[in-house]
Structure 1
Amino acid sequence: MRAVPSWAVVTAAAAPVLLVAGWTVAGARQPPGYDPIRDTISELAGEGATDSWLMAGCLVLLGCCYLGTALVLHAAGLPSRFLLALGGTATIALIAFPRPQVGGSPAHGTVATVAVLALSLWPAGSALRLPRAVRRDVAATPAGTPPWAFRRPVALAATALLLLLFGWFVVEVTGGSRTGLAERVAALAVALWPLAAILSARRAHRHWSARQPGPPVTDRARPDAPPVTPVGD
C-alpha cells in the first residue's frame, strides 16, 4: 500500500476549519440583516457582500484542500479521486461565478451543483469499483479488506447521508426558511469526509507495514567480510 504523507492530514483537516472560519468571519462583517440560518454561504462571497474576498479566499483554499487530498489518496481508487478533484475544482470555480446581489445566476447554480454532487458521490466511487492496483493492496492488508472508509457499506452510507443533506438544502431553497443552516450542515459534512478517509488510509497502511517482513539477515557483518561456513558443512 502507498503511504499517505503527513501533510495530507493537515490539508484534509484544514478543509472544515477553513469552511467554518470563513462563514463565521465573513458573516460577522455583513450588515445586521444577514441571517446565517436563512442566508447562504454563497451570499458571503457574492456581489454586494461586505469584504466578499474573505469567503472567496476560503473557497479557493477549500478547493485546494480537496485537490490535495485527491492527489495522494490512492486507496480510494481513480473514480473517487476524480470526483473529489472535480468537486475541488468546481469549488474554486465558484468565485468566477459569484452570486448576484439580486436574483439568481444559472452559472453559479450549475457550478455549485456540480461541486456538491461530485463531493457527495466520491465516497461511493471507491465502493463500486476498485482498480486492480488497489485490489492488490487490499489483499496485502491484514484483514484483506479496504480501509474502513472505503468498505462498500461505509462508503455507500456516507454518500447516502451526503445526498440526503443535499436534498434537505434543495427543499429549503424551494421554499424553506433555513436555507443557510441546511447548506452549512451539508457543506461541513462534505468537508469532514476527506479527513476521515485520509485517517482511515493511514491507519490501514500502518497495519499493513507492521505485517511486512523485516530486512533479510545476512551472515556478513561487513560488506568485505568473508562468507561464514555453517557448522557441520
Structure 2
Amino acid sequence: MRRVPRWALLSSGCAPVVLTGGWVVAGRLEGGSYDPATQTISVLAADGAAGAWVMTAALVALGLCHLVTAWALRPAALPGRVALGCGGVAALVVALFPAPSSGGSLQHGSVAAVGFALLAVWPVLAFDPDGRAPWGLRRVPCFAATAVMGAGAVWFLIEIQGHGAIGAAERFVTFVQSVWPFMVVASCVRHKRPAESRL
C-alpha cells in the first residue's frame, strides 16, 4: 500500500481551522447585524460585506487544502481523490463568484451545491475494499461519513425551505466535510502495513 506523506496532516488539518477561523473572524467584522445561526457563510463573503476579504481568503485556503490533500492521499481510490480535489476546486470557484449583497446568485448557488455534493460522496468513492486498509478508508467509516454529510445536507435543505437555522445547518455540513479528510489522512499515517506489524 502506498504511503501518505506526513505533511498531508498539515494540509488536511488546516482545512477546518481556516474554515472556522474565517467564519468566526468575518462574523465579528460584520458585527451584530449578522446572525450565524440563521445566515449562511456566503453572506460573510458577499460583495460589500465587512469581512468579505477574510471569508474569501478562507475559502481559497480551504480549496487549496483539499487539492493538496487529494494529491497526497495515495492509498485512497482514485475516484475519491478526484472528488475531493474537485470539491477543492469548487471552493476556489465559490470564492471567485461571491454571492451578491442582496438576493441570490445562480452561479454561486450552483457551484456551492456541486462542491457540497462532491465533498459528501468522496468518502464512499475513496474506500478501499481491502480489509487491511487504514481505518479511514474502510467501508463502514466511509459510508458512515457520507451518511452524516448527507443528513446534514438534508437538514440544510429543510432549513432553506423554512428560513430557520440555515446557518447552523451549513456550518455543521461544511465543518464535517472539512474535518473528514484529516481523519482519513491521520488513519493512513498511523496505519502499519502487515509486513511492518510483524517486525
Cα distance in 2 between the residues matched to 1:187 and 1:209: 37
Aligned pairs (5 A) from 1:144-183: 144-183=131-170
How far does the alpha carbon of each residue in 1:49-71 deviate from its partner, in whole angstroms, 9 at most, with x for none?
11311000010000111011100
User: Which AA in structure 1 matches 2:4?
Assistant: V
Aligned pairs (5 A) from 1:22-37: 22-37=22-37
The residue number in structure 1 matching 2:71 is 71
Aligned residues: 199
TM-score, normalised by the number of residues in structure 1: 0.81
User: Which AA in structure 1 matches 2:118?
Assistant: A
Q: 2:182 aligns with which of 191, 195, 206?
A: 195
How far does the alpha carbon of each residue in 1:134-162 deviate from its partner, in whole angstroms, 9 at most, with x for none?
x7xx5xxxxx5211111112211110110
User: Which AA in structure 2 matches 1:94?
Assistant: V
Question: 1:207, CA displacement in angstroms?
Answer: 4.2
Cα distance in 1 between the residues matched to 2:2 and 2:151: 33
TM-score, normalised by the number of residues in structure 2: 0.94
Q: If each structure's helix is expressed as a fraction of its own residues, which one has the higher value?
A: 2
Cα distance in 2 between the residues matched to 1:171 and 1:211: 47
Q: Percent identity?
A: 40
Q: Which runs of 4+ in 1 moved over 4 A?
A: none
Secondary structure of the equivalent of 2:38? coil
Contact 2:90 / 2:115 at 8 angstroms: preserved in 1? yes
Question: 1:31, CA displacement in angstroms?
Answer: 3.4
Question: 1:209, CA displacement in angstroms?
Answer: 5.7
How far does the alpha carbon of each residue in 1:154-178 deviate from its partner, in whole angstroms, 9 at most, with x for none?
2111101101101111111122321
The residue number in structure 2 matching 1:105 is 105
Unaligned 5+ segments in structure 2 are none
Secondary structure of the equivalent of 2:184? helix
